[in-house]
A and B are shown apart, each in its own frame.
Chain A
Amino acid sequence: MVQENKTNYSPNGIAIKQESDILTLSGFDVNDLDEASFRDNFNYFKELLKAKKVKNLIIDIKNLGPGLKYNLSFIDACVSFCNAKCVKVQIINSSHDIDLLLKELDFIKTHTEVRVRHKTQKSPSALVSIGEGAIKFFNDIKSFLGFTGEITSAMIYSVLHPRKIQWKETLYYMEKTGADAVPIVFAVCFLTGAIIAYQGVVQMGRFGLSIFTSDLLGLAMTKELGALMTSMVCIGRAGSAFAAEIGTMQVSEEVDAMETMGLTTSRFLVVPKIIGLACVMPLLTIIADIAGILGGSISAVLKGGLSFPEFFSRTISAITFANVMEGVSKSIIFAILIAGIGCLRGYQADRDAKGVGRAATSSVVSGIFMIVVADGLLTLVFN
């Protein structure tokens, strides 16, 4: 192991000297590393840095020629590693040639940048974080409002010029987000209904009121849960797919291509998705209502000792047409929100592969948030 104030040689001849918390690397003029020795040396260096409390690294590059490529990248790797570990780096004895080369490689610049970034990362004052968060939040709202305006004008244009609506696309999205979602919506709501009815039967059964489970279930499904559960499924299936689709089109420059061709992308990409989803979500909601009541009837009959005819006749007399319409009209608003958020997040996607994934994730997160908030507001309005 390295001892203090002594020069040691790493596996391949690079001299490493340690004085208190200063580590000095030298001997880069001897010969170039190769792939294997690069790895050995670098591992050795990393272990040293981890084992000892090194605060400063001095790299002596006397006589390092521009030809010694592996030595150069070894130094680069060491510097990066030190930056990550907050060790200060100093390069000494560099010649004019090497200076130019390092500048050419953006060596100095990138590494100082890394260090600066690291500093700010280390101590983000609470006020700064709050401020940055607030700015981000308001920018988000700003772009959301701008986007809403754009979509509204595109929708109005489409209503006035129905010939220009992309009907083929709209039908495609109706199939993808509607027909294909029926099984999962049915399954989710069937189980939801069963669980709620089970709780109803158990809790109310203690007072001999299990028959009222049918009222509870019918109203909860039609007024709230049908639309809400359908929304959750559609956020996961449709909203994220919309975000990913538009995000991918951003990456492959298709959105740019459309804009340059003078085609309003909101009209081509967003309107069909909104119309498609707004057409199918009410239908899905009705399916969800039915599935929930069916699921609930199973619980009520098996656990509550009711009979099917009893349960259904009671449920049907409890629900009014207005109750069903409340859920259905909510679902139309939810559909517009889900499709809109998905598309917005797609437009905001960074232009790389990760950006598409992030857009999809964030469309789901903001979608759920928006739906819950909107549901609260709408419930107030309807009652």
Chain B
Amino acid sequence: MSEQKEVIKVEHLTIGYGESVLLKDISFSVMKGEIFAILGGSGSGKSTIIKHLTGLHKPINGKIFINGIDIVTADDFKLATLRKSFGILYQSGALFSSLTIEENIALPLLEYTTFPKETINSIAKIKLNTVGLGGYEKFMPYELSGGMKKRAALARALALNPEILFFDEPSAGLDPINSAKLDNLILKINNETGVTIVIVTHELESLFSVADRVIIVDKKCQCILDEGEPQSLKGNSKNEWVRNFLNRKYLG
């Protein structure tokens, strides 16, 4: 990467719900334009990290900077402005079930832009084409298959040309073919637009095919076990568990 600009910077972050701490004193940075993965067992707090990065929850301790703005202390207005530059794809897709696919994608555009209706519709159409769902504008979310729902949600996430895209286990519940399709789509979007991507995953397949860098979080030590490029961690991580896991030697 030519320019090493930190888009997200996390310092000594401690997160959890109420009294119970999930991860303690973790620090990492995400560089501009890279695909950054968060790997870990279920319940280790990966989704919680995303919720903190997007400002939905306040941390117990520590700092989070996005483009240099401290989002922990930022007021609602600053946060709202910042969030317009986020796109997010949830585990379940989270399409709004009472709206058509087109209206789902149009919603953020209607809210944040003053484009006339025709422009908004054509943007929705273009975004749907990008994710390979041209022609499904008038469908309702429940009429689409799981993989299509995820891609429609991705189109919605792309609607405002975000700077940072968050993915929470995008391939959860997808068959290998559809999940490989989604991985290719993620790579393509990253290549074409240079958007920074933070992706939570537990699938090695997608990890090796998309991620530039990865952190591995663990529930027991409540910490980051290791951090680096997936391929090099596979060969020589300082942590034995990580090496075994990446080489699929983990039993159970």
One of B56, B92, B97, B153 near A259 (C-beta < 8 A): B56
A interface residues, how many (CB within 8 angstroms): 15
* Listed stretches A250-258, A285-293, A338-346; interface member: A250-258
Q: Mark B79-99, 1 if CB is under 8 A from A, else 0.
A: 010011010101110111110
Residues of B within 8 A of A116 (CB): none
Is residue B111 contacting chain A, with contact meaning CB distance below 8 A?
Answer: yes
Query: Is the pair A253, B108 in contact by a Cβ cutoff of 8 Å?
Result: no
How far does the alpha carbon of A169 sit from the alpha carbon of B107 in the complex, in Å?
A: 13
Is residue B201 contacting chain A, with contact meaning CB distance below 8 A?
Answer: no
Residues of A within 8 A of B84 (CB): 262
Is residue A156 contacting chain B, with contact meaning CB distance below 8 A?
Answer: no
Is residue B237 contacting chain A, with contact meaning CB distance below 8 A?
Answer: no
For chain A residues 232-275, which have a beta carbon within 8 Å of chain B?
A: 249, 252-254, 256-263
How far does the alpha carbon of A284 sit from the alpha carbon of B107 in the complex, in Å?
A: 32
Main secondary structure of the interface of A (DSSP, over half): helix
How far does the alpha carbon of A253 sit from the alpha carbon of B167 in the complex, in Å?
A: 13
Query: Is the pair A263, B90 in contact by a Cβ cutoff of 8 Å?
Result: no
For chain A residues 154-187, which have a beta carbon within 8 Å of chain B?
A: 164, 169, 172
Please judge, given known A-B contacts A253-B91, A254-B94, whether A260 and B108 are in contact too, CB under 8 Å: no
How far does the alpha carbon of A263 sit from the alpha carbon of B79 in the complex, in Å?
A: 12
Query: Is the pair A169, B83 in contact by a Cβ cutoff of 8 Å?
Result: no
Q: Mark B31-54, 1 if CB is under 8 A from A, else 0.
A: 000000000000000000001001
What interface size band does chain B fall in? 20 to 34
Residues of B within 8 A of A257 (CB): 88, 90, 94, 96, 153
Query: Is the pair A263, B111 in contact by a Cβ cutoff of 8 Å?
Result: yes
Query: Is the pair B94, A263 in contact by a Cβ cutoff of 8 Å?
Result: no
Cβ distance B100 to chain A, nearest Cβ, rounded Å: 11
Closest to A172 in B: B98
Closest to A263 in B: B111
Residues of B within 8 A of A252 (CB): 92, 94, 97
How far does the alpha carbon of A172 sit from the alpha carbon of B96 in the complex, in Å?
A: 15
Please judge, given known A-B contacts A261-B83, A261-B108, A262-B80, whether A256 and B56 are in contact too, CB under 8 Å: yes
Closest to B50 in A: A260
Residues of A within 8 A of B111 (CB): 164, 261-263
Among A164, A249, A262: residue with most chain B CB under 10 A: A262
Query: Is the pair A263, B107 in contact by a Cβ cutoff of 8 Å?
Result: yes
One of A164, A253, A260, A262 near B92 (C-beta < 8 A): A253
How far does the alpha carbon of A252 sit from the alpha carbon of B97 in the complex, in Å?
A: 10
How far does the alpha carbon of A258 sit from the alpha carbon of B80 in the complex, in Å?
A: 12
Query: Is the pair B98, A169 in contact by a Cβ cutoff of 8 Å?
Result: yes
Apart from A169-B98, A258-B96, what 16 extra A-B contacts exist at CB < 8 Å? A253-B90, A253-B92, A253-B94, A254-B94, A254-B96, A256-B51, A256-B56, A256-B90, A256-B94, A260-B54, A260-B88, A261-B86, A261-B111, A262-B80, A262-B111, A263-B107
Q: List 7 A-B contacts (CB under 8 A).
A: A169-B98, A253-B90, A253-B91, A256-B94, A260-B54, A262-B112, A263-B107
Contact surface of B with A, Cβ cutoff 8 Å: 51, 54, 56, 80, 83-84, 86, 88, 90-92, 94-98, 107-108, 111-112, 153, 166
